[in-house]
């Protein structure tokens, strides 16, 4: 029996909130969906939080993820912005927990490192690498916040032991010996 794992990745935000959903079967990732929630049009922070909760629940109910991964708010100089981001993340967490879905949090640097190998990569570099990793002809959204949500899901997959990360390699020769199908 082939087991499929669905991972919902969330990049919390109070202006744009990104969501990415991947499916993993036998260690192979495929993008299922990518969404962004545009929040700048709402009149106040409380209304934005309600829409974050509602959208997160709607995505959970539609795609039935097995796990949810969130980007942790980064520490900035503006305390008010940090509080608002923390609330947005908390609401997304609450929606996930309301549906009894396990959640994991990743720092922005860890996500960038998992996707690009560089913890200081730009959003454009992350999107480009996701396009390559997921074999997308073009990136399906213009908002990099949505690609950040997708990056969180992919990072979670890379860190959850669902790919061949239990193998150890001492160099290219070792890698090629253990992965003969990867050579063209």
Sequence-distant (≥ 6) Cβ neighbours of residue 60 within 8 angstroms: 8, 68, 95, 96, 99, 101
The alpha carbon torsion through 159, 160, 163, 167 (nearest 10 deg) reads 70
Residues 159 and 165: their CA atoms lie apart, in Å, by: 9
Distance of alpha carbon 47 from alpha carbon 179, whole angstroms: 51
The stretch 101-129 carries a mean pLDDT of 93
pLDDT of residue 79: 81
> What are the structural domains, with CATH classification, of the chain?
4-178 (3.30.420.10)
pLDDT of residue 165: 36
Indicate if 165 belongs to the active site: no
Confirm or deny that 71 is annotated as ligand binding. Answer: yes
pLDDT tens digits, residue range 97-107? Answer: 999 999 999 99
* Axis-axis angle for helices 123-133, 144-159 (nearest 10): 60
Pick the range with the lowest mean pLDDT from 29-38, 128-137, 172-181.
172-181
Residue 87 · residue 48 · CB < 8 Å? no
11 is catalytic: yes
Catalytic residue among 36, 67, 71, 148: 71
| 66 marked as binding residue | no
Q: Annotated binding residue at 138? A: no
Lowest mean pLDDT among 45-54, 118-127, 146-155, 165-174: 165-174
Judged against a pLDDT cut of 60, whether residue 184 lies above it is answered with no
**Annotation says 71 is catalytic:** yes
């Amino acid at each position: 029996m082939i087991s499929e794992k669905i991972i919902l990745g969330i990049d919390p935000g109070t202006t744009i909130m990104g969501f990415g959903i991947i499916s993993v079967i036998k260690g192979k990732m495929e993008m299922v969906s990518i969404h962004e929630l545009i929040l700048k049009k709402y009149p106040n922070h409380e209304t934005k939080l309600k829409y974050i909760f509602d959208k997160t629940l709607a995505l959970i109910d539609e795609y039935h993820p097995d796990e949810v991964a969130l980007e942790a708010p980064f520490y900035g100089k503006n305390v008010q912005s940090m509080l608002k981001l923390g609330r947005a993340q908390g609401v997304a967490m609450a929606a996930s927990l309301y549906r009894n879905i396990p959640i994991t949090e990743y720092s922005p640097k860890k996500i960038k490192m998992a996707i690009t190998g560089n913890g200081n990569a730009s959003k454009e570099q992350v999107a480009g690498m996701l396009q390559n990793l997921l074999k997308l002809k073009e990136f399906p959204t213009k908002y990099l916040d949505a690609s950040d949500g997708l990056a969180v899901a992919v990072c979670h997959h890379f860190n959850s032991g669902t790919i061949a990360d239990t193998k150890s390699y001492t160099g290219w020769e070792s890698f090629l010996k253990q992965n003969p199908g990867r050579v063209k």
